[in-house]
Structure 1
Amino acid sequence: MKHLKSTLMASALILPLAAPAAFAETPDGMLVVAQNIDDIVAIDPAQAYEFTSGELVTNLYDRLIQYDAEDTTVLAAGLASSWEADDDAKTITFTLRDGATFASGNAVTPGDVIYSLGRVIKLNLTPAFILTQLGWTPENVDTMITAEGNTVTVKYEGDFSSAFVLNVLASRPASIVDSVLVAENAVDGDWGNAWLNENAAGSGPFVLDNYSPAQLIRLSANETYFNGEPAIESVIIRHVAEAATQQLLLEQGDVDLARNLTPDQIASLDDDGIKVETFPQAAVHFLSFNQKTDSLTDPAIWEAARYLVDYKGMTDTIINGQMEIHQAFWPKGFPGSYDETPFTYDPEKAKQILADAGIETPITVTLDVINAPPFTDMAQSLQASFADSGINFEILPGTGAQVITKYRERTHQAMLLYWGPDFMDPHSNAKAFAYNSDNSDENYAATTTWRNAWAVPDEMNARTMAALSEADPETRLEMYRELQQDVQESSPIVIMFQAAYQVAMDEDVTGYVNGATSDYVYYRLVNKN
């Protein structure tokens, strides 16, 4: 009856919100989440590149090695039970664990690993760049990943250590798919991409029962999961864009978790039966200027902007408890972070910088922003503080998917957005914020530099790649700190804050894990006592 109960609950949750509440509390064995999920563009692990899609992929799929719910700071065995690295030969050999199966019942084989990793390279969609760093191409990937018996040997090219490679292979696009099931659903050579954007073929702790874009996600526990069946029988993630509605549903007992409450709403929650947990996050929030817009190309604009952000005003009010001031691209708390915050709100200084550079004001700039809190509130704060210096923002709100798509197309002028590392190595963010060796429109790159059309100086490009290959650990981290300082001083990307994530939940919920990035959101340890 478990699946019938899930279906009935899902049906109830899509009733109009104006209808009377149907439940005093959610059913036992079912976790119901209210969350804004309209940023999802794709859920195929070879294409998924949004925050919410990352959460979904993590709960549906496994990787050879992975950061797991039990300790998100430790790189642990996944579908591989062990591995052996040979830095001289630039190979890592993985031994697959015995008895692992996909949700379909098919056994996990070395062939699935070869298929899955090669599929990402051959499809060459947004997150493929994470794996192509290893020197893999559509032409050579079949020779770079080979199998013998129950082992898979991964070869890589590049002047970096095996530790970097392991972090790459623990990232989202390295998720292993059921090659038999995916091949059965491939159409016109698409490697099953269309099908996997509506379905799932993983071995993870949960099975995808239903995905309705910008409406509902329904998961059920994978009873055969190698790490043990999840404690909760099913998870329903209901798309609720309005934070006020999320709060109402939580207080009424119609949902167990509210994922997007504002600081004011967190403060106003009735303590009776509701608790709030705070999770440090790796995401950094920034304001950026597209260098295709002529009025935004003068470095004096970039410098002045750094003194026109009311950092303390925002962290004391509209983003209190959700963000802290951080002005460098690698998040605080991780090795290699640069934690100096030299910029404060100083409109008079900003005006002087613009005047000294001979920049005529007023300047009118469109500012794209996700139409949800706290982003709209942050945009209004920026609009007010920048107006003091004659830079006038016209705010253009949109759904998460609309804003991100526009950003990828380089059609914005100014953008208020956030960035999380693709894997837990400082090169992940360094390549996004301090590297762009080909700024042409034809050379799409999933980086903030390319998307803002910033032609990074050759010297900085070289230093970014040199840090990647540096063998001495501390020297390498210092190189990244120096890069952060330089980007902080002069770039069209103004990094302002680091996220801290607050989740309000029923007091009976335990075991929810929300790690530093969206790839580390886990439901498999959740229980309702």
Structure 2
Amino acid sequence: MKLLKAALLAAALALPVAQQANAATPDNLLVVAQNIDDIVAIDPAQAYEFSSGELVTNVYDRLVQYDAEDPTVLAAGLASDWQADADAKSITFTMRDGATFHSGNPVRPEDVAFSFARVIKLNLTPAFILAQLGWTAENVEDMVTVDGNKVIVKYEGDFSPAFALNILASRPASIVDEKTVMANETDGDMGNAWLNANSAGSGPFELQSYRPGELVRFKANANYFKDGPKVDGVIIRHVAEAATQQLLLTSGDVDMARNLTPDQIAGMDSDALKVETYPQAAVHFLSFNQKQDALQPEAVWDAARYLVNYKGMTDSFLKGQMEIHQAFWPKGFPGSYDETPYSYDPQKAKQILADAGIETPVTVTLDVINAAPFTDMAQSLQASFAEAGINFDIIPGTGSQVITKYRERSHEAMLLYWGPDFMDPHSNAKAFAYNSDNSDDNYQATTTWRNGWAVPEELNDMTKAALSESDPDKRNAMYGELQKRVQEKSPIVIMFQAAYQVAMDKKVEGYVNGATSDFVYYRLVTKN
């Protein structure tokens, strides 16, 4: 029976994609339709796109990681346990017994030291995440050392072990098989070219095939140290058009469609299909540039919070795409602040403006990306703000045009979104609650600096204190208080948290889609 199952899987994986589209998917194979043309690289030291993040997560492990059982909890990965020493700024990891790479090689502490040093030395796009630990090409081999079955990680900086652990749970901290990688090194590239077409991980799935702009094939790792995988393989077919994805799903040629539009989702009526909704880490906000005199009064910020028709939008054109969320750290992760005290109340907003002596009407330009749902959101804001005498002149532009203007601080009002680079609340706290130098020549990739907001020193101090707090519970409480302060008094009005909808066959169970692309898991999927 087992031999027959393996033979069926091999035959299914060997089929050309066009042939597979002619029949229902095998019971032991998950077939996914998804737009994956954003992938530039799949080497964990280089991968920085949404789809490549999903690939890396399913093929590689980290010392500690957010995992399929609960993607909001930092759990043991290739390390079975760890001890943090905040005073010595070090964390000692004990390696898990019995973990092996797909090659059959054992996972060694030396593979961990090699993987971290490799990221820093190659210095490709995501290297900055690990470099936050004070690592450089010159010192990384001294900062990450091996002692028997332990790995000692040192870091430099005024931050807590919790921050360091979240860094080590990020994508570039994935552990690769040193022996396999270096056997495929070319011209001193530390295996980079080879790893952009192959894999050398220990994760629940082994990369069997990757054809850019066509498909990704995973084969189950039968020796994985955790439960699963439950299916013998996954095929992700590149399907750019949402209409084609819908057709493949309704005809039974794929089990899951990852990029359907809200209209398609709303129109689904097949008894064999279902839709699952997953909160995402991106928060959407309206901001006011403090380099504009008319937008500096705090009464304008206060009134704005009551001029967003939050429920009107999420009950109509944003239904299923976003949920009301009014704090800078996404719901569903430690340190989030989930209170939503503001609702649409134009009369209250008018009173706030009148009490502050703000003369209306006020005309403000509003930059927005010229695509759905942003243009629809802008039109809703234009209508609701007009109720209190704040008139938005909408300026649509391409994403690059809007973001370039934002970085130049030349806008008036801006409608945009923000997502964390790694799952630690400091990633967003630095963006929304910190700006110690607001000068024009001190460019910062933060919403505070880009909106010309000289953050009060108290908030700057709170941000630094939360970063360095070693007690996890106290640290989360500090981030909650910080979010409450920003929510109450800031020129940045956070409105929504994005949601992601996936349509799938009702037989599919166990699919996990966390708040970012790094938290998409196929390990627990079954097809009953």
Q: Give your verdict on TM over 0.5.
A: yes
Q: Which residue matches 2:367? A: 366
Contact 1:215 1:238 in 2 (8 A): yes
In 1, Cα distance between the equivalents of 2:99 and 2:453? 46
Q: CA shift at 1:66, angstroms? A: 1.6
Partner residue, 1:429: 428
Displacement, 1:303? 5.5
User: What is the deviation of 1:327?
Assistant: 0.8
Partner of residue 231, structure 2? 232
Q: 2: distance between equivalents of 1:98 and 1:226?
A: 9
Q: Which moved more, 1:254-263 or 1:436-445?
A: 436-445
Give the secondary structure class of the aligned counterpart of 1:217.
strand
* Residues 305 and 494, structure 1, Cα contact 8 Å, conserved in 2: yes
Separation of aligned partners in 1, 2:272 and 2:67: 29
Aligned residue for 1:416?
416
> Per-residue deviation at 1:129?
4.2
Does the Cα contact within 8 Å between 1:295 and 1:363 map onto a contact in 2?
no
Aligned to 1:392: 393
The one-letter code of the counterpart of 1:10 is V
How many angstroms does 1:99 deviate by?
A: 3.7
Structure 1 residue 151: deviation in Å? 1.9
**Superposition deviation, residue 288 in structure 1:** 4.7
> What is the one-letter code of the residue matched to 1:368?
I
Task: Give the aligned partner of residue 134 of structure 1.
Answer: 133
After TM superposition, the structure 1 = structure 2 runs for residues 187-206 of structure 1, keeping only pairs within 5 Å, are 191-193=190-192, 195-206=194-205
SS in structure 2 at match of 1:31: strand
**Deviation of the 1:496 alpha carbon:** 0.9
How many Å separate the matches in 2 of 1:397 and 1:239? 25
In the TM superposition, 1:73-84 aligns within 5 A as 73-84=72-83
Cα 1:99/1:480, change in 2 over 3 Å: closer
Q: Distance in 2 between matches of 1:452 and 1:43?
A: 35
Partner of 2:217: 218
8 Å CA contact 1:251–1:270 kept in 2: the answer is: no
Alpha carbons of 1:180 and 1:408: their partners in 2 closer, same or farther (altered >3 Å)? farther
Query: 2: distance between equivalents of 1:189 and 1:411?
Result: 42
Q: Where does structure 1 lack aligned partners over 5 or more consecutive residues?
A: 14-21
Q: Distance in 1 between matches of 2:68 and 2:526?
A: 14
With over 3 angstroms needed to count, the CA separation of the structure-2 counterparts of 1:313 and 1:270, relative to structure 1, is same
Give the match for residue 4 of structure 2.
none
Residue type matched to 1:175 in 2? S
| Aligned 8 A contact 1:261 1:503 in 2 | yes
2-structure distance, mates of 1:200, 1:499: 31
- The alpha-carbon deviation at position 418 of structure 1 amounts to 4.0
Contact 1:10 1:236 (C-alpha < 8 Å) held by counterparts: no
What is the aligned partner in structure 2 of residue 325 from structure 1?
Answer: 324
The 1:175–1:492 alpha-carbon spacing in structure 2 relative to 1, beyond 3 Å, is farther
Q: Report the Cα distance in structure 1 between the residues aligned to 2:214 and 2:454, rounded to whole angstroms.
A: 39
**Whose Rg is larger?**
2
Matches within 5 A, 1:233-312: 233-288=232-287, 298=296, 305-312=304-311
Q: Is the 8 A contact 1:219 1:234 kept in 2?
A: yes
Report which stretch shifted further, 271-280 or 186-195.
186-195
Q: Is the 8 A contact 1:282 1:421 kept in 2?
A: no
Q: Secondary structure at the match of 1:390?
A: strand
In 2, Cα distance between equivalents of 1:195 and 1:358: 64
The one-letter code of the counterpart of 2:109 is: P
CA drift of 1:224 comes to: 3.8
Distance 1:227 1:126, change over 3 A: same
Contact in 1 for aligned 2:162/2:472 (Cα 8 Å)? no
How far does residue 247 in structure 1 lie from its aligned partner after superposition?
Answer: 2.9
Q: Is the 8 A contact 2:33 2:239 kept in 1?
A: yes
Q: Percent identity?
A: 66
Using structure 2 for the length normalisation, give the TM-score: 0.82
Q: Does 1:98 align with 2:97?
A: yes
Moved more, 337-346 or 202-211: 337-346
Change (3 A) 1:51 1:296: farther
Decide whether aligned partners of structure 1 residues 126 and 288 sit closer, same or farther in structure 2, where only a CA change above 3 A counts: farther
SS in 2 for 1:142: helix
Pairwise CA distance, 1:472: 5.2
1:8 equivalent in structure 2? 15
CA separation of 1:77/1:481 partners in 2, compared to 1, >3 Å: closer, same or farther? closer
The answer to whether the 8 Å contact 2:41/2:196 transfers is yes
Q: 2: distance between equivalents of 1:254 and 1:464?
A: 50
Instruction: Judge conservation of contact 2:367–2:402 (CA < 8 Å) in 1.
Output: no
CA positional deviation for 1:146: 0.3
Match of 1:519 in 2: 518
Q: Matched residue pairs, number?
A: 514
One-letter amino acid of the counterpart of residue 114, structure 1: A
| In structure 2, C-alpha distance between the alignment counterparts of 1:47 and 1:441, rounded to whole Å | 31
Equivalent-residue separation in structure 1 for 2:124 and 2:436 (angstroms): 20
Tell me how far 1:256 sits from its aligned partner.
Answer: 0.9
Partners of 2:32 and 2:237 within 8 A in 1: yes
Letter in 2 for 1:255: V
Native 8 Å contact 1:421 1:517 kept in 2 = no
Counterpart mapping for 1:403-482 below 5 A:
413=411, 414-420=414-420, 422-423=422-423, 425-437=424-436, 447-449=446-448, 456-471=455-470, 475-482=474-481
Distance apart, 1:356 and its partner CA: 5.4
- Residue pair 1:58, 1:519 contacting (<8 A) in 2 also: yes
Separation in 2, partners of 1:452, 1:224: 51
Deviation at residue 440 of structure 1 after TM alignment: 7.8
**Structure 1 residue 180 displacement after superposition:** 3.6
1:59 offset after TM fit, Å? 0.6
**Are residues 241 and 180 of structure 1, via their aligned partners in 2, closer, same or farther at CA, if it must alter by over 3 Å?**
same
- Partner residue in 2 for 1:28: 27
Cα distance, 1:391 vs structure 2: 1.8
- Deviating more after overlay: 135-144 vs 358-367: 358-367
Q: Distance in 2 between matches of 1:246 and 1:516?
A: 23
Q: Contact 2:409 / 2:451 at 8 angstroms: preserved in 1?
A: no
Root mean square deviation, CA, Å: 3.9
Q: Name which of structure 1's ranges 200-209 and 154-163 shifts more when overlaid on structure 2.
A: 154-163
1:22-63 C-alpha deviation (Å, 9 max, x unpaired): 435223332122334455454333344444332222112100
Residues 170-179 or 60-69, more deviating: 170-179
Do residues 111 (structure 1) and 87 (structure 2) align?
no
CA distance in 2, matches of 1:441, 1:107: 52
Alpha-carbon shift at residue 133 of structure 1 (Å): 3.6
How much has 1:502 moved relative to structure 2? 3.2
Quick one: distance in 1 between partners of 2:98 and 2:441?
A: 45
